[in-house]
Amino acid sequence: MAKIKMKKKSTSTDMTAMCDVAFLLLTFFILTATAKVPEALPVDTPASTVQTKLPDTDLAIITVGKGKVFFDIKGREIRKRTLEGIGAKYGIEFSEDDKTKFALMDDFGVPVTGLKQIIDMKAADRTKANQPGIPLDSLDNQLKEWLLISRRATIDLDDKELQIAIKGDAKEEYPQIKKIMDILQDQKINSFNLVTGTRGKDF
């Protein structure tokens, strides 16, 4: 009788390849992830079941919360062009340095006269700056100008219509939202996006 000798198998597997792949993927995801910067005006968006993603470029976001209105444009070149346009409109000179800084910053909510101060601040200070919001009453409707000029800039640069999204706080009262919608409709923007959170299908 020949004895069958079982080979003793090693219990540990070679994980080198797996480790390689895992770290490769990890590096990829870390590099592609965009760092989230704190918003100047934090809002709690209402939830909805509709899930359409917002576009990444050619987008303007109007943030409404606590009675204030903030404005944000995506896309650096468009931001630069918009700032030039606003400067020309209100007779404020912005240096090349200001434009570069403005292109890199996020949403803001100051009248045009205070814009330079905000641009000069550090990113961390901007969120603490207690910005008063963009004026939009009938006497001094700066939001309208921002919209007009940024739309023109988008058409000039990308030959596309700027998409508008409204990001409203859930507790914001309807008249304030209505005011924004009216401003948009006055410019014949009849189709826009409402930024919402996600919610399950059977809530």
Nearer CB in complex with other proteins: 47/88 = 47
* Structural contact between residues 173 and 22, judged by C-beta atoms closer than 8 angstroms: no
Q: Residue 53: what are its φ and ψ, rounded to 5°?
A: -80, 150
How open is the CA angle 66-201-194, to the nearest 5 degrees? 35
Asked whether position 26 contacts other proteins by CB under 8 A, the answer is yes
11 binds other proteins (CB under 8 A): no
Considering the rule CB under 8 A, would residue 178 count as an interface residue with other proteins? Answer: yes
From residue 152 to residue 171, the character string flagging contacts with other proteins as x (rule: CB under 8 A) and all else as - is: -------------x-xxxxx
Query: Bridge partners of 165?
Result: 61, 193
- Based on CB atoms, which residue is closest to other proteins, 81 or 167? 167
Among 2, 4, 30, 124, binds other proteins (CB under 8 A): 30
State the number of CA atoms in the 13 A half-sphere of 76 facing the CB: 7
Smallest distance from other proteins to CB 31, Å: 10
Q: Which of 2, 3, 29, 159 binds other proteins (CB under 8 A)?
A: 29
Residue with token string 């079982």: 6
From edge to edge, which strands make up the β-sheet containing 163-168?
68-73, 59-65, 163-168
Q: Cα-flanking dihedrals φ and ψ of residue 130, to 5°?
A: 55, 65
Q: Which is nearer to other proteins, 112 or 184 (CB)?
A: 184
Q: Are 150 and 103 in contact, with CB atoms under 8 Å apart? A: no
Minimum distance, C-beta of residue 198 to other proteins, in the bound complex (Å): 5
* 183 torsion bin: left (phi>0), alpha (psi -120 to 50), beta (else): alpha
Binding mask 61-100 for other proteins (x = CB under 8 A): ---x------------------------------------
* Cβ at position 59, least distance to other proteins in Å: 10
Q: For other proteins, give the closer residue by CB, 23 or 90.
A: 23
Rounded to whole angstroms, the Cα distance separating 62 from 180 reads 9
CB of 35 to other proteins, least distance (A): 10
| Contact partners, residue 99, CB within 8 Å, separation at least 6 | 80, 83, 84
Q: What is the binding site for other proteins (CB under 8 A)?
A: 12, 14-16, 18-19, 22-23, 25-26, 29-30, 32-34, 36, 45-54, 64, 165, 167-175, 177-178, 181-182, 185-186, 188, 190-199, 202-203
